[in-house]
A and B are shown apart, each in its own frame.
Chain A
Amino acid sequence: MASEVQFFRYRSIRKAVLLEVKHQISVGHRLILLVAFQTAIAALLVFTALSAISAVAVDARYMYQFQFLGVGEIGKAMEVAAQLQSFFATESFGVHSRTPVSIPNVVSQLEAFYKRYRAEWETAKGNTPDAIRFRKDLLGAGETGFLEKESKALMDLEESIQTLKADEEGSSADKPVQTRWSNARKVRENLATLYDVNVAYARLANEHVTSRTRSARNRLFTIGILGTALTLFLGVFVHRAIAPRIRRLVTKVNRFREFGVNEQIVETGKDEITVLAHALDSGFAAIAAREREREEFLAVAAHELKTPVTSIQGYASLLISHPEQTSLVPRALEIIHRQSWRLSRLVEDLFLAMRARASQLRFQPEPLDLSGLVQRLLLEVSPLISHEAFLARVKPSVKILGDEALLDHALWSLFICASALSARNQPVRVVLDSAAAFATVSIDVQGSENSAQQIEELFTPFRSVQYESGSGIRAAVGLYLCREIVRVHNGRLRVRDVSNKGAEFLMELPL
């Protein structure tokens, strides 16, 4: 039971660690890890290959210098010994050889060979690195018999060479040719024994070298296979940690593109994909919000356009259906005329708003009597307002350089908007004044439930929700345009809170 609990605890910890690794390590770090691992594997392979090549080169030199050269030199010494033996054999039959042999020279050659062998090729007691290495190999393989054989062969060879030398240094006549032949034969036989030992050495060394080469090849192969497998595993791990999430992102992007469905992308990590997912989320949310605002704007615009059309069509239908009602004609025509004019202003407003959105507002400044414009607009707007009146204080003869058509729209929209935002039966106070460098038009919004901050939102493109839910929808279209118009006049349009009264629009235009 306890082990089961431990197992589940281990699994849950492992899962948590994997999730942590999966979502916390950045994509860049994952890729760096993958590349670093691949580089390490490649470096290990190169290092192992270089080591193997180096070992093969060392073995080749060793096989040549220590093994084959030694065997070759023994073979030559055997030839010399055989010549000497053959010479004594000929002499023993009383026949003088055609090719005279210098016996001291031969003995000297054999002595030189013996000394060189002891110095360069002796394995049993030699001190060269090759000898030490080979001795170690032989001890490792349990082939110590050859070492004894070599020692004995060398001892016998030295003794036989010394005997030959003593024969030569003493009186030649003292020793019968037969004995000297026999001594030469011993030298040759000892050399043959040494030759056999060295041939066996060469065979064993070859086996060792072959084994080492095979082992290096296997090591290379194993590292290659393991490295490839681990790299693949790591690659799959990186792929699984990245690709499905990117696929999910792409699916959501496609769904948004094709169907306009904005689904939140749930990514809980801290890596770049999560950052990308959050950026996409907020981007889509902004696009969706903008789309909603656009739809609302269109709905409001349609509603706005329908309101004057309702009166125009209604009165026209009334006159057509009841032509006998002649007393209605003047009033009906007056309403049709007024609402047609309102409709044309709305259409113009929409058109200008679209141009402003595309930064294509046409600005044609001319000397303009702002006082006259404000007074005329107040007269025009008053009949459109059902209950509020305007209390105007207009400084006469305020002249600016401005575009009359644009300012006409801006002021008209602001008057309507201020009227609609103000509390019922509250007059809208309009003041036109001028200071050193600016003409200022202030329009009060009294008793409004909206703060300056809320009213400020009405200047956002397509923003009209608060306005329509608060105090009607009639002037929502014009506010974004108003600020654009004032901006192209190098002026400023603000909304500010006025203590105890509500808010006010403040338009400043350069004189």
Chain B
Amino acid sequence: MTAILRNTILVIDDDPDCRGMIEALAQIRSVPVLQAPDCREGLRVLEREHWRIKIILLDYFMPGMEPAQCAASIVARAGTAIPVVLMTAAVDATARAAELNVGRCLSKPFDFAALETLLTET
């Protein structure tokens, strides 16, 4: 029996530059990355690759779906196995995370050291 290895980061953000930057950093750290430009695509990827995703980085504002609806869907699908981290450029990041019932948050612009730590967490 083979143990499931959760080692992949799922980045859901409509800003391709932001996704690219996280991906570049993850590649340096040899962490596989999956990307989605919006919530619906993110849900599809999550459905498909659920078994290998270790953490989800979720942007707050994205086109196509309300932030609360998006976060609720992602958190519900991720379950307890995959932690969700909210990324937001909003002034009150912690309050927004609490509002969406997401445990952790990462303010934009990123604290680079914190981002690296997050990516290399097991």
The verdict on A318 contacting B25 (CB below 8 Å), with A311-B17, A420-B63 known, is: yes
Nearest 5 CB-CB pairings of A with B:
A306-B89, A317-B112, A311-B17, A314-B21, A310-B108
Cβ of A469 < 8 Å from any Cβ of B?
yes
In the assembly, what is the distance between CA of A303 and CA of B109, in Å?
A: 10
* Residue of B18, B89, B116 with most partner-chain A CB within 10 A: B89
Cβ of B103 < 8 Å from any Cβ of A?
no
Tell me which residues across on chain B come within 8 A of A57, comparing CB atoms: none
The verdict on A311 contacting B37 (CB below 8 Å), with A325-B28, A472-B14 known, is: no
Contact at B21–A315, with CB atoms within 8 Å? Answer: yes
Residues 411-455 of A at the B interface (beta carbon under 8 Å): 420, 424
Cβ of B24 < 8 Å from any Cβ of A?
yes
Tell me which residues across on chain A come within 8 A of B38, comparing CB atoms: 424
Contact at B109–A306, with CB atoms within 8 Å? Answer: yes
- What is the distance, in angstroms, from B118's C-beta to the closest C-beta of chain A? 13
Q: How many residues from B make CB contacts under 8 Å with A?
A: 28
Contact at B21–A318, with CB atoms within 8 Å? Answer: yes
The verdict on A335 contacting B112 (CB below 8 Å), with A303-B61, A387-B37, A472-B61 known, is: no
Contact at B18–A386, with CB atoms within 8 Å? Answer: no
- What is the distance, in angstroms, from B106's C-beta to the closest C-beta of chain A? 10
Cβ of B64 < 8 Å from any Cβ of A?
yes
Residues 24-45 of B at the A interface (beta carbon under 8 Å): 24-25, 28, 37-38
Cβ of A302 < 8 Å from any Cβ of B?
yes
Cβ of A137 < 8 Å from any Cβ of B?
no
Residues 268-295 of A at the B interface (beta carbon under 8 Å): none
In the assembly, what is the distance between CA of A306 and CA of B89, in Å?
A: 6
Tell me which residues across on chain B come within 8 A of A60, comparing CB atoms: none
Cβ of A322 < 8 Å from any Cβ of B?
yes
Residues 63-98 of B at the A interface (beta carbon under 8 Å): 63-64, 66, 88-91
Contact at A472–B62, with CB atoms within 8 Å? Answer: yes
Number of A-B residue pairs, CB cutoff 8 Å, is 79
Interface set of B (CB-CB < 8 Å, partner A): 14-18, 20-22, 24-25, 28, 37-38, 61-64, 66, 88-91, 108-110, 112, 115-116
Tell me which residues across on chain A come within 8 A of B66, comparing CB atoms: 469
Contact at A307–B110, with CB atoms within 8 Å? Answer: no
Tell me which residues across on chain A come within 8 A of B112, comparing CB atoms: 313-314, 317-318, 321
Contact at A309–B109, with CB atoms within 8 Å? Answer: yes
Contact at B110–A314, with CB atoms within 8 Å? Answer: yes
- What is the distance, in angstroms, from B20's C-beta to the closest C-beta of chain A? 7
Q: A314-B109, A325-B28, A328-B24 are in contact. List 18 more A-B contacts (CB 8 A).
A: A302-B90, A302-B91, A303-B88, A303-B89, A307-B15, A307-B18, A307-B108, A310-B15, A310-B18, A310-B89, A310-B109, A311-B15, A313-B112, A315-B17, A318-B25, A335-B17, A420-B63, A471-B63
Contact at B62–A311, with CB atoms within 8 Å? Answer: no
The verdict on A386 contacting B89 (CB below 8 Å), with A306-B108, A314-B21, A424-B64 known, is: no
- What is the distance, in angstroms, from A326's C-beta to the closest C-beta of chain B? 12
* Residue of B16, B17, B116 with most partner-chain A CB within 10 A: B17
Cβ of A299 < 8 Å from any Cβ of B?
yes
Tell me which residues across on chain A come within 8 A of B37, comparing CB atoms: 386-387
Q: Pick from B24, B88, B89: contact of A318, CB below 8 A.
A: B24
In the assembly, what is the distance between CA of A194 and CA of B37, in Å?
A: 133
The verdict on A386 contacting B14 (CB below 8 Å), with A307-B108, A325-B28, A424-B38 known, is: yes
Tell me which residues across on chain B come within 8 A of A386, comparing CB atoms: 14-16, 37
Contact at A311–B64, with CB atoms within 8 Å? Answer: no
In the assembly, what is the distance between CA of A242 and CA of B15, in Å?
A: 60
In the assembly, what is the distance between CA of A283 and CA of B83, in Å?
A: 47
In the assembly, what is the distance between CA of A339 and CA of B108, in Å?
A: 15
21 A-B pairs whose Cβ atoms sit less than 8 Å apart in the complex = A299-B90, A299-B91, A302-B89, A307-B15, A307-B89, A311-B15, A313-B109, A313-B110, A314-B18, A314-B21, A314-B22, A314-B109, A322-B28, A328-B24, A335-B21, A339-B17, A468-B61, A469-B66, A471-B63, A472-B14, A473-B61
Tell me which residues across on chain B come within 8 A of A318, comparing CB atoms: 21, 24-25, 112
Residue of A nearest to B110 (CB): A314
Residues 380-395 of A at the B interface (beta carbon under 8 Å): 386-387
Contact at B61–A311, with CB atoms within 8 Å? Answer: no
In the assembly, what is the distance between CA of A168 and CA of B117, in Å?
A: 157
- What is the distance, in angstroms, from A200's C-beta to the closest C-beta of chain B? 106
Tell me which residues across on chain B come within 8 A of A311, comparing CB atoms: 15, 17-18, 21
Contact at B21–A472, with CB atoms within 8 Å? Answer: no
In the assembly, what is the distance between CA of A172 and CA of B11, in Å?
A: 161
Contact at B17–A303, with CB atoms within 8 Å? Answer: no
- What is the distance, in angstroms, from A447's C-beta to the closest C-beta of chain B? 11
